[in-house]
Chains A and B, each alone.
Chain A
Amino acid sequence: MNVIRRTIQRLGPARGALEDPTPLVRPFFVCGHPRSGTNWVSSLLNLHPRVFCDGEFHFHLIRNGIEGFQSQPWYVGSREPVRSETERAFASLVLGCLTAQAHRPAEHGGKPGATEVGDHTPRMLRMLIPPPAGRYIIIFRDGRDVLVSWTFHLLKTARPDIMHPQVRPIFEQVLPAAGESADAARQAARRLLADRAWVQHYAAGWSDHTGHDLATMRQLKADGHASSLLRLSYEELHADTQTHRARMYTFLGVKPSEASPLSRESHTAPGFGREAPRSFYRRGEVGDWRNYIDAQSHGWFLERAGARLSELGYDVAPAASTPKPLTPQSAQPTTVPPSREEKKTS
């Protein structure tokens, strides 16, 4: 607790978190669309002894409140000195929370020696702590793989109440059978992915999210903060994990050679070897959408998000008329270790 108190005092509003010449920790943020690999990036970063990344904090929810507080010219928060006070309070809160989480004893999941502390939250790219003090890692992934992954994720969590009313009925139809077996989950996913409303609803959301992130990146670069931003692609990370994780460590100012090797146990090696439809770590493959999305659904997706896929450099050629059959190996029952959430539940 002394370390936490000292850090909060040091970085707190009294001294000005962003003005401290020798902060004990340096913050970073991993963001991207849900199911784009933010968890994987976090696990890769945590292989380094000086890096601690945890989540999901969702600091942007407080940021929304502060922006509302500053939004109208007749609000006191839109003017000095209150405006700066709230900014300092927010920076202090973020650093305080990250430090408290990182500097817990090792047996409680902390990493007291970490100097680079971060949050991974699947969210849009927004500045929580202004660069260069705040550093940002953003990961993009093919929206079609994201759609398949998210569809399985929703089937696993079985929460139709959190879904958009437009697509809730189709989920309510398939959910009862989806939990029976891995095959039933695959069948349910196929039904959802053949539903125009679901495919187009999700494609539009993914396109908007990604478009916002690309625009924010352009703005950051125009403001001269390109060095505070690292852009990753799930597919490149998959193809050459070693090179791209070294980029991440270098970006954070730590030596890549000090990091532990990749492993299946730490969920840091690319892919999970086989498909586990009801696990948080389902498959982790690139191009898996071809197994689930037929030509018609693909056309629906491209109607809403084709331009965005092209902008990100993905191939938008028409899909096969029927999805590829699953290989015998990928259809086998899973032996993938349970996720953190599953462990806690059990």
Chain B
Amino acid sequence: MTTQGADAGLINKVKAAVPRPLKVILRPMVRPWLAPPPADPYACADRGVGNEWTIVDRERTYKFFFLCGSWKSGTHWVQALINLHPKAYMTGEFHFELIHGGFSSYLKRRWRLPAKSRVLQDIAHESLRRCIRRSMFAQTRSHPEAVMLGDRSPRILKAMLPGAPHILLHRDGRDLLISRSYHMLRTNNPGAMLPQFAHLLRRWGPEYKLSPEKFRDTTIGLLGDDDWVRYLSRFWAESCLHDLKAMPRLISRGTPVHFIRYEDLHADLEGNRAAIYRFLGLDPAEAAPPSVETKTLPGFKSENLKSATRKGQSGEWRCSFTDRITRIFKEEAAEALVQMRYEKNTNW
């Protein structure tokens, strides 16, 4: 037990032994002799300074930002690129949208008390924002030199702190379908899968571990299941369409959004990463160069079916799509593919 812990134990014992009326009399006399409560290291994040996404700690200004987009669309890669800059530090996955969803349910039904009271709504909003700021500040203290503090969470676009810069990343849904299917087989975690697909992992997961090469055949594994292909295609299409609608709305309300496509980042890494730094108000010249070691160069040397960084290529879907997968994908996501400018029409 630490000295402080021992003191606290002793104080609690004395407090329990003293009757309440005596405690009331003694309290003002005893309090000055007791140690002050421990300082709160994150108190600076309780309130925004000038806006909801800026805080000041010991005369140093910190700003928060967010990276979102579908899973397997390159959010890890963009995080690694951002972390090449000494004044930025991004970590994840926070998934504040889950807490945000809880607050939305809490506030929306008209017969519930919070929906009727402005004071309660203000307390809820302030509480959520304070929780986000404090959590992000607490988690990024390992990099005290960084002043731009970011969260990477694969999710749809939604302003977690109004006004904070948001980077939105998207990737061709066909590549995403292939990448996500390999990823789920590799991690083999039925708990992270929707219940209706957990049986597929139980069926194929152990086999993938033994001989992943076998799963290049897309008639087996997750890609061999029509419902899985349909679900993922629809999920991608709905996410894209949601984000395309949300982006102008957020921008018009004062939340800047920087949109990047994975394929563009591949084609012009330097130009796009410089644009990201500038979007965050940072000088691109101060960033370290991309390297194989930091996994910041586009693509990987060779395909590794047992790694989270499997291949990192764009257009890989051409080798894996069969007529069946193409038909299902078109039924669910043809329109989104055109709206995202991956295809001009559905004749591909």
A100–B102 CA distance with the chains assembled, in angstroms: 20
Say yes or no: is A270 at the interface (Cβ < 8 Å to chain B): no
Query: Assuming the A-B contacts A68-B98, A92-B127, are A81 and B139 also in contact, with contact meaning beta carbons closer than 8 angstroms in the complex?
Result: yes
A13–B126 CA distance with the chains assembled, in angstroms: 12
A178–B210 CA distance with the chains assembled, in angstroms: 64
Are A57 and B112 in contact, with the CB atoms below 8 A? yes
Chain A facing B: main interface SS: helix
Chain B facing A: main interface SS: helix
Q: Which of A1-28 contact B (CB under 8 A)?
A: 4, 8, 12-15, 21
Say yes or no: is A284 at the interface (Cβ < 8 Å to chain B): no
Say yes or no: is A337 at the interface (Cβ < 8 Å to chain B): no
User: In the complex, which residue of chain A has the Cβ closest to the Cβ of B46?
Assistant: A14
Are B105 and A89 in contact, with the CB atoms below 8 A? no
Q: Write out the residue numbers on chain A whose beta carbons fall within 8 Å of the beta carbon of B304.
A: none
Are A57 and B114 in contact, with the CB atoms below 8 A? yes
User: In the complex, which residue of chain B has the Cβ closest to the Cβ of A9?
Assistant: B46
A68: which of B40, B91, B102, B113 is its contact (CB, 8 Å)? B102
Are A58 and B106 in contact, with the CB atoms below 8 A? yes
Q: Write out the residue numbers on chain B whose beta carbons fall within 8 Å of the beta carbon of A96.
A: 123, 127
Are A15 and B95 in contact, with the CB atoms below 8 A? no
Are A101 and B120 in contact, with the CB atoms below 8 A? yes
A161–B311 CA distance with the chains assembled, in angstroms: 48
A61–B40 CA distance with the chains assembled, in angstroms: 28
A99 to chain B, nearest CB (A): 9
Q: Write out the residue numbers on chain A whose beta carbons fall within 8 Å of the beta carbon of B131.
A: 85-86, 89
Are A93 and B102 in contact, with the CB atoms below 8 A? no
Interface locus among A72-80, A256-264, A327-335: A72-80
Are B94 and A76 in contact, with the CB atoms below 8 A? yes
Say yes or no: is B281 at the interface (Cβ < 8 Å to chain A): no
Say yes or no: is B21 at the interface (Cβ < 8 Å to chain A): no
B234 to chain A, nearest CB (A): 21
A69–B117 CA distance with the chains assembled, in angstroms: 26
Query: Assuming the A-B contacts A65-B100, A100-B123, are A12 and B46 also in contact, with contact meaning beta carbons closer than 8 angstroms in the complex?
Result: yes
Are B43 and A69 in contact, with the CB atoms below 8 A? no
A14: which of B40, B95, B96 is its contact (CB, 8 Å)? B40
The interface bits of chain B over 102-138 (1 if a CB of A lies within 8 angstroms of the residue's CB, else 0) are 1101100101111001011001100110110011001
The interface bits of chain A over 51-87 (1 if a CB of B lies within 8 angstroms of the residue's CB, else 0) are 0001111110111111011001011110001100110
The interface bits of chain A over 142-173 (1 if a CB of B lies within 8 angstroms of the residue's CB, else 0) are 00000000000000000000000000000000
Query: Assuming the A-B contacts A65-B103, A66-B102, are A76 and B111 also in contact, with contact meaning beta carbons closer than 8 angstroms in the complex?
Result: no
A65–B119 CA distance with the chains assembled, in angstroms: 21
Q: Write out the residue numbers on chain B whose beta carbons fall within 8 Å of the beta carbon of A65.
A: 98-103, 105
B177 to chain A, nearest CB (A): 22
Q: Write out the residue numbers on chain B whose beta carbons fall within 8 Å of the beta carbon of A320.
A: none
Say yes or no: is B92 at the interface (Cβ < 8 Å to chain A): yes
The interface bits of chain B over 178-193 (1 if a CB of A lies within 8 angstroms of the residue's CB, else 0) are 0000000000000010
B113: which of A14, A21, A101 is its contact (CB, 8 Å)? A101
Are A66 and B139 in contact, with the CB atoms below 8 A? no
Say yes or no: is B93 at the interface (Cβ < 8 Å to chain A): yes
Are B138 and A13 in contact, with the CB atoms below 8 A? no
Are B106 and A59 in contact, with the CB atoms below 8 A? yes
Q: Which of B57-108 contact A (CB under 8 A)?
A: 91-96, 98-103, 105-106
Say yes or no: is A316 at the interface (Cβ < 8 Å to chain B): no
Query: Assuming the A-B contacts A14-B43, A100-B119, are A93 and B124 also in contact, with contact meaning beta carbons closer than 8 angstroms in the complex?
Result: yes
Q: Write out the residue numbers on chain B whose beta carbons fall within 8 Å of the beta carbon of A307.
A: none
Say yes or no: is A97 at the interface (Cβ < 8 Å to chain B): yes
Query: Assuming the A-B contacts A14-B40, A82-B138, A100-B119, are A75 and B95 also in contact, with contact meaning beta carbons closer than 8 angstroms in the complex?
Result: yes
User: In the complex, which residue of chain A has the Cβ closest to the Cβ of B39?
Assistant: A14
Say yes or no: is B197 at the interface (Cβ < 8 Å to chain A): no
Q: Write out the residue numbers on chain B whose beta carbons fall within 8 Å of the beta carbon of A81.
A: 138-139
Q: Write out the residue numbers on chain A whose beta carbons fall within 8 Å of the beta carbon of B128.
A: 89
Say yes or no: is B42 at the interface (Cβ < 8 Å to chain A): yes
Query: Assuming the A-B contacts A15-B37, A85-B134, A86-B99, are A54 and B113 also in contact, with contact meaning beta carbons closer than 8 angstroms in the complex?
Result: yes
A259 to chain B, nearest CB (A): 22
A58: which of B98, B99, B112 is its contact (CB, 8 Å)? B112
A279–B147 CA distance with the chains assembled, in angstroms: 59
Q: Write out the residue numbers on chain B whose beta carbons fall within 8 Å of the beta carbon of A66.
A: 98-99, 102
Are A63 and B91 in contact, with the CB atoms below 8 A? no
Are A100 and B94 in contact, with the CB atoms below 8 A? no
Q: Write out the residue numbers on chain B whose beta carbons fall within 8 Å of the beta carbon of A14.
A: 40, 43, 46
Q: Write out the residue numbers on chain B whose beta carbons fall within 8 Å of the beta carbon of A59.
A: 106
Are B99 and A97 in contact, with the CB atoms below 8 A? no
A85–B130 CA distance with the chains assembled, in angstroms: 10
Are A97 and B123 in contact, with the CB atoms below 8 A? yes
Are B93 and A75 in contact, with the CB atoms below 8 A? yes
The interface bits of chain B over 229-260 (1 if a CB of A lies within 8 angstroms of the residue's CB, else 0) are 00000000000000000000000000000000
Are A82 and B139 in contact, with the CB atoms below 8 A? yes
Are A76 and B92 in contact, with the CB atoms below 8 A? yes
B119: which of A4, A56, A86 is its contact (CB, 8 Å)? A4
Q: Write out the residue numbers on chain B whose beta carbons fall within 8 Å of the beta carbon of A97.
A: 114, 120, 123-124
A89: which of B92, B119, B127 is its contact (CB, 8 Å)? B127
Q: Write out the residue numbers on chain A whose beta carbons fall within 8 Å of the beta carbon of B96.
A: 69
Are B93 and A76 in contact, with the CB atoms below 8 A? yes
A63–B43 CA distance with the chains assembled, in angstroms: 23
Q: Write out the residue numbers on chain B whose beta carbons fall within 8 Å of the beta carbon of A100.
A: 119-120, 123
Are A82 and B135 in contact, with the CB atoms below 8 A? yes
Are A75 and B94 in contact, with the CB atoms below 8 A? yes
User: In the complex, which residue of chain B has the Cβ closest to the Cβ of A84?
Assistant: B138
Q: Write out the residue numbers on chain A whose beta carbons fall within 8 Å of the beta carbon of B138.
A: 81-82, 85
B251 to chain A, nearest CB (A): 26
A77: which of B46, B94, B109, B130 is its contact (CB, 8 Å)? B94
Query: Assuming the A-B contacts A76-B139, A81-B138, A86-B135, are A69 and B113 also in contact, with contact meaning beta carbons closer than 8 angstroms in the complex?
Result: no
| CB<8 Å pairs between A and B, sample of 12 | A14-B40, A58-B106, A58-B109, A62-B102, A69-B98, A76-B135, A77-B135, A93-B123, A97-B120, A100-B120, A101-B119, A101-B120
A-B contacts besides A69-B96, A100-B123, 7 pairs, CB < 8 Å: A12-B46, A13-B40, A61-B106, A75-B94, A96-B127, A97-B124, A101-B119
Closest 7 CB pairs of A and B: A65-B102, A89-B131, A68-B98, A93-B127, A61-B105, A62-B102, A65-B99
